[in-house]
Amino acid sequence: MVTKHLITHLRHVDIAMPDFDRQLEFYRGPWGLTEVADDSGVHFLAAEGSPENYIMRLRRDNAKRLDLVAFGAASPSDIDELATQLTSGGVRIVHEPRTLDTPGGGYGLRFFDCDGRVIEVSAEVRTRAHRKVEARESIPVRLSHFVVNSPTPEATVAWYIRHLGFRLTDTMALPHMGEFMWFLRCNEWHHSFAVSRGPHVSFHHASFQMRGIDEYMRGTGRMLRGGVEKVWGPGRHKAGDNTFSYFLDPVGNTVEYTTELELVDEDTWHPTVFDASDEDVSDQWGTANPMNELVASRQFNDPDPGLFIAPPI
């Protein structure tokens, strides 16, 4: 069990898909990411405002899958400590701590979570020369958070708390089904990771932070004018107090533009269970389309065929 907070932040989300060309064009075109490297069908995309070498990796594959989710740690010694704790806790290791050969390098390890996703944790990754995103420039500043579906979410949440030291920030619930979404943090942001109750293990959504409200709305408008399918929004959640506009990428993954995610005080924060049947909880502004079973089902996504199978790269 983790005895100190070894995870510092979310680094990147890596996905694979057969309809690769359309997917790549979407993310480096209208979605607003910058391609920084490519190697044999694997493309690395950065956010202009982020020091991370890349925040999304796209890989050509015959199957649509989540390759891995990557988090940061403060030092190589923390990576080694985490590896020891994971091994003693019975976690399946994909590869032991070693020098990484992806953009930015660094020192890291990979392992499977309890649902079969591959998780990477790394330290000493070189930073990227980034820049200030200007006013009215409606491109992502950074990767905000990542959410997964699990048919056994209570066990998944417990696993991330026990093995990776995440803290529970808030929970969403409905009167007829009980708790269904858990927001987890690894730093002062309200959540960097979340788990949603779903019919199968899958990618729920990846969220990209914009510079401010105006840039968020301009980006939302660009998606709408471009005919990108909207799932939900624009609006403002109560848990996390962040704005939201959810869209489907070309292969059916939900991606979000957001801004103003809440910062919490680790010493004084107490988790709240929010009743999602309260319209103000789902959308404080009242501008989004209503959350219903159809909207929720769009975020269930396809069952992930890559569970407990390490990606080739």
> How confident is the model over 27-74, as pLDDT tens digits?
999 999 999 999 888 999 999 999 999 999 999 999 999 999 999 999
Q: Is residue 303 part of a domain?
A: no
Beta strands in the chain (DSSP E): 7-17, 34-39, 42-46, 56-60, 65-73, 93-99, 107-112, 118-123, 142-150, 167-174, 178-185, 193-197, 202-209, 230-236, 243-248, 254-258, 272-275
Percentage of the chain surpassing pLDDT 70?
99
Give the pLDDT of residue 110: 98
65/96 Cα distance (integer angstroms): 23
Residue 81 placed within a domain:
yes
Domain that holds residue 152: 142-298
pLDDT score at 2: 46
Domain identity same for 176 and 268: yes
Q: What is the pLDDT of residue 201?
A: 98
Task: Give CA–CA dist 53/37, Å, rounded.
Answer: 9
CATH number for the domain spanning 28: value is: 3.10.180.10
Distances (CA, A) of 194 to 1, 98, 100, 168, 170: 20, 28, 26, 9, 10
**Mean pLDDT to the nearest integer, 15-22:** 97
Q: How do 254-258 and 243-248 pair as beta strands?
A: antiparallel
CA distance 203 to 15: 9
Residue whose C-alpha is closest to residue 148's, from 194, 209, 207, 112: 194
Q: Which of 123, 151, 179 is the last residue of a domain?
A: 123
- Position 305 in a domain: no
The residue among 15 and 294 whose pLDDT is bigger is: 15
* Domain-embedded: residue 178: yes
CA 12, chain centre distance (Å): 8
Q: What are phi and psi of 159, to 5 degrees?
A: -65, -45
Read off the pLDDT band of 249 (50, 70, 90). Answer: very high
Whether the pLDDT of residue 4 is over 90: the answer is: no
Model confidence at 301, pLDDT cuts 50, 70, 90, reads very high
CA-to-CA separations, 191 to 76, 218, 223, in angstroms, rounded: 24, 24, 25
Residue 200 lies in a domain: yes
Query: 206 pairs with which residues across the strands?
Result: 146, 255
Total domains, the chain: 2
Mean pLDDT in residue range 95-103: 97
User: What share of the chain in percent tops pLDDT 90?
Assistant: 96
What's the whole-number mean pLDDT along residues 124-130?
Answer: 96
Task: Compute the distance between CA of residue 263 and CA of residue 148 in angstroms, rounded to an integer.
Answer: 21
263 DSSP 8-state letter = B
pLDDT in tens, 135-190: 999 999 999 999 999 999 999 999 999 999 999 999 999 999 999 999 999 999 99
Amino acid at position 302, single letter: D
- The rounded mean pLDDT for the chain is 96
The answer on pLDDT for 3 being more than 90 is: no
